[in-house]
Amino acid sequence: MAQVLEFKLPDLGEGLTEAEIVRWLVDVGDVVAIDQPVVEVETAKAMVEVPCPYGGVVTARFGEEGTELPVGAPLLTVAVGGAADGNATPAPEAAGAARTADAKDAESSEYSGNVLVGYGTAGPAARRRRVRHATHAVAPAPAAASPAAPAAPVAPVAPAGPVPVISPLVRKLARDGGLDLRDVRGSGPQGLILRADVETALAVREQAPKAAAPVLAPVPATAGGSAASAAVGERVPLRGVRGAVADKLSRSRTEIPDATCWVDADATELMAARAAMNAAGGPKISVLALLARICTHALARFPELNSTVDTAAREIVRLPAVHLGFAAQTERGLVVPVVRDAGGRTAESLTAEFARLTESARQGTLTPADLTGGTFTLNNYGVFGVDGSTPIINHPEAAMLGVGRIVPKPWVHGGELAVRQVVQLSLTFDHRVCDGGTAGGFLRYVADCVENPAVLLRTL
């Protein structure tokens, strides 16, 4: 006889407490293998495919796509054992029985020990408040009969199963517009809902007659101004990546007494050195990689800026290695991937790692490990066409170097006015770890290396 086990949303690590269901990868009645991904969720840090530690038949799913679940909430139930052959029909009691099943009952070949953080075989799971969500195993209640119908037929309901959407961007567009994707007819293959379908549905809704809308009494204009507007402002939930960014930036500004200094630098020689390196053949070297090399050498001279503050112990902790974060803007929001051991990498290695992490950020496949553990951040906001900024420190780091666009400008070179490639550099630093002399020394060294890359030869 098959045993029904409940799989809960596991602890995804890095202090994450909830995740949003983006896409179900299995349906009720599907046969799943041990460690097969069953659902794609979006946390505050990345998209994650969650594998199920059980092998058997899916008997119920908890939570619709777009639902946010806390860690420890039920995800799905799986019938394992004798009847889990792919043709078994789960009993109506299956979902209820699963709620009392414990992970330790699965000591058989239908269970995997290779599960995510916080979801293991040793000991009972931590006691958490459980949130019950609707499942596909429970049939929806019939709608009320139409008064004009002679036989009181039941109103049709939306078909069970996942909404035919692949792109998280399409799902976000619908969510931001308050559109239920189950009401959208997809024009793609096998009814797949495309971005154009969502945009069309939103446009149709905006153009719909407003005769049924409640009539508001006009507000008379006053002598000092026009009539007050009855429109209500749009509310955007601070969750996911946007919520994580808001929390981290607020914490940085609350806890870190930051200060900013900046300087203009002549980057003509740096750009010429890069052109010469790329002309020599081999993999191309990026400007960001050269700036990263300069940063790591500057941090070796001024280690105060590669540190963090332990507020409880009232100590400055100077870190032995440079794990360099870099700001990357994506459609999901701002993320800061981290290049491990940046100080020991060559310009070629840095270029390759920047490219890999940037592509992962665009695809939404960065892991929590890719986004944590940074000790210093490099922010190239020049890609947005701006010259300067006062960056907010990426808590709990102690400093961030900002780089503006590199553009031709009038510059005094060799005692004469010339057109040179000029860049503005800004350093925001935690004033608890150092004073202006140290911060200015770091920034001046960076600027000297930008203006004369041969300065680096003295440290090689």
Among residues 136, 297, 413, 431, which one is catalytic? 431
What CA–CA distance (Å, rounded) separates 16 from 244? 10
Query: Do the beta carbons of residue 80 and residue 3 sit within 8 Å?
Result: yes
The DSSP result for 181-219, as a single string, is GGGPPP-SGGGPPPHHHHHHHHHHHHHS--TTSPPPPPP
**Strands, sheet with 18-24, edge to edge from the N-terminal-most edge strand:** 47-52, 36-42, 18-24, 68-70
Mapping DSSP to helix (H, G, I), strand (E, B) and coil, where does residue 457 land?
Answer: helix
Q: What is the CA radius of gyration of the chain?
A: 28
Which tokens hold the place of 430? 């935690």
Phi then psi for 246, rounded to 5 degrees?
A: -60, -45
Query: Do the beta carbons of residue 322 and residue 294 sit within 8 Å?
Result: no
Token pair 């037929």 in the structure block, residue: 153
Q: Which of 171, 155, 175 is nearest to 163 (CA)?
A: 171
What CA–CA distance (Å, rounded) separates 107 from 199? 49
Is it true that the peptide bond before 74 is cis, omega within 30 degrees of 0?
no
CA distances to 34, 48, 58, 290 from 112, in Å: 6, 19, 16, 45
Query: Do the beta carbons of residue 425 and residue 379 sit within 8 Å?
Result: no
The DSSP result for 160-179, as a single string, is SS--S---HHHHHHHHHTT-
Active site (annotated) includes residue 431? yes
What CA–CA distance (Å, rounded) separates 299 from 459? 12
CB-CB neighbours of 304 under 10 Å: 19
Per residue in 433-445, is it b (16+ CB within 10 Å) or e — as a string?
bbeeebbbbbbbb
What CA–CA distance (Å, rounded) separates 399 from 390? 11
Burial class (CB in 10 A: 0-12, 13-18, 19+), 458: exposed
What CA–CA distance (Å, rounded) separates 380 from 402? 6
Q: Interior CA angle at 269 toward 416 and 399, to 5°?
A: 110
Catalytic positions are: 431
